[in-house]
Chains A and B, each alone.
Chain A
Amino acid sequence: MHTVQLEHVTFIRNNRKILNDITISFPAGKTSVIIGPSGCGKSTLLKVAAGLFPPTSGKVLIDGKNLLTMSKRQLQNFRMVSSFVFQDAALWANKSVYENLSLPLQIHNPDITRDERDRKILSILKEVGYTDSIHLRPAQLSNGERKMVSLARALVTTPHLIYLDNPLILVDPSVLAKMQKLIIAMYKSSETVIANFSSISLTKRLTDFAAVMKDGRVIFTGSMSDVLTCKEPEAVKIIEDIITRDYSNSV
């Protein structure tokens, strides 16, 4: 089980402060969900917490160790146990589905045999509901298929710390169920999951710990029931807006 803490993290890009002095601790073995309106910095917070963007100031602590000052080996160990699912799938365009999945395996498990690797790949693809050829390139896949492969790539290395950045956005309803099933499995396991879901219904079902964000700041943290019953006017407004949007989308 892994803990992720952010201490006074500020992130500036192109002279714009995207994250503003954020201090938050994501509990180990729980599913934490970041809630907030579009453009409030949810994805950036996830990427900073995952060590994909180095913060302009502040610290990102993984199991108490500063991500920026970690040794190469410690960083490699962190990468081995963590994975990230991107909002836009971010599959490697010049590689086939098979290669997209086999590369992380080759990096983290260089000693496994090719057969074992193939077995693992086919198994995870089946789990996410991918049925097409494994030799296709990402450009040849539908949006939903790309999302499936992206989730499969994140899970193929059996990670214990998973970052999910809107993994179900724009996913075809036919495959949504299978993917949701996998995310629920993650929620039920003892893995640490830090997520950003666009769907409030999924957020309500899967959240152990929630953080409400507005304009690059975390304005409220607590359990999902705490969030839904909080009296903080800014947080209440944000939750109401999200629920309204989610309802209109479903209609």
Chain B
Amino acid sequence: MLGTLGRWFIDYIKGQLYALGFFFKVFKATIHFFKGKQAGKKVLTMQILFTGFETLNIIALIAMALGAVIIIQGVSLLPQFGQRELTFPILITIITRELGPMLCAFIIIARSGTAIATEIGHNVVSHEIEAYIASGIDPLTYLAVPRFIGVTVSLLLLNIYFNFFGLIGSFFITQFIEPVQASDYFRKLLSYLRPEDILSSTLKSLAFGIIISLSATYYGFKVEQSSTEVPQMVIKAVGASFVYCILVDAVITLIYYTR
């Protein structure tokens, strides 16, 4: 019993150290990524295309729907309490600071996190990783780093688009249901939007991008031989991404409110 516990603990520590080593190597390789000619640059472009550009329609739809709901509720419900002005702080809190980065992260976890973990896992099973090594291509530099940069950059960009569609696009949707004066809306919106809101949002999407890409690539590479390991590792990657994203979100939010 005691021996089992001890073995489990040692294995756990080894696993954590391995993960840390992996993250460190990815960060190190990222620094050198843009130096010279890199075959991985094409992979990076494709990653941004798949993770960023191809997710734009879902992000735009969700952001506009969410923003429109907040505005409609704000202009119809809040004046009953004499709190019409609160529409803007609520809109900024939900779209920019809290739900925007988190929803983008969840969509990316579901779309790209799973795809990356599956693809790398499959690469391992079909000996493609060995083929990369044999061809003198570092799998970490060629597979992990472009995905790490691609997902992080995509999440940052998608967060900007989410804010744009949520704050501005939703205004136009609202015009069909409950017209709001444009000048008044944008003036108030811009007066309530603070640089720290943008900073908090950017930090969150940056952190979420790092978490999602590292989890997906790490668990992808953890597949050893069998294809049955692939879905198991995908589930682990998704679980880890959700947990760490929520934890980091809580920490950044805490820092924002206690600063």
Contacts and interface: CB of A to CB of B under 8 A. Distances in A.
Per the CB under 8 Å rule, do A and B touch in the complex? yes
Interface of A: 13-14, 47, 50-52, 76, 79-80, 82-84, 86, 88, 90-94, 103-104, 106-108, 110, 153, 157, 163
A51 B130 CA distance: 10
Contacts of A51: 133
A167 to B, nearest CB: 13
Contacts of B134: 50, 52, 79, 82-84, 163
B25 interface: no
B126 A84 contact: no
Interface of B: 37, 39, 119, 122-123, 126-128, 130-137, 224
Contact of B130 (A13, A47, A108): A47
B144 to A, nearest CB: 15
Contacts of A90: 126-128, 130-131
Contact of B135 (A47, A79, A93): A79
B126 to A, nearest CB: 6
A92 B130 contact: no
28 contacts: A50-B134, A51-B133, A79-B133, A79-B136, A80-B136, A83-B134, A83-B135, A84-B130, A84-B131, A84-B134, A86-B127, A88-B126, A90-B126, A90-B127, A91-B128, A91-B131, A92-B123, A92-B131, A94-B119, A103-B135, A103-B137, A104-B135, A104-B137, A107-B39, A107-B135, A107-B136, A107-B137, A163-B134
Contacts of A103: 39, 135, 137
Given A93-B122, A110-B37, A104 B136 contact: yes
Contacts of B135: 79, 83, 103-104, 107, 153, 157
A52 B133 contact: yes
Contacts of B130: 47, 52, 84, 86, 90
Given A90-B126, A103-B39, A108 B136 contact: yes
Given A84-B131, A103-B39, A106-B39, A93 B136 contact: no
Nearest to A87: B127
Contacts of B132: 92
A88 B37 contact: no
Contacts of A91: 128, 131
Contacts of B136: 76, 79-80, 104, 107-108
A103 B142 CA distance: 11
B18 to A, nearest CB: 14
A138 to B, nearest CB: 9
Contacts of B39: 103, 106-107
Nearest to B130: A52
A55 to B, nearest CB: 15
Nearest to B134: A84
A244 to B, nearest CB: 30
A80 B137 CA distance: 10
A200 B40 CA distance: 41
Nearest to B136: A79
**Which 5 A-B residue pairs are closest in the complex by CB-CB distance?**
A79-B136, A84-B134, A90-B127, A104-B135, A90-B131
Contacts of A50: 134
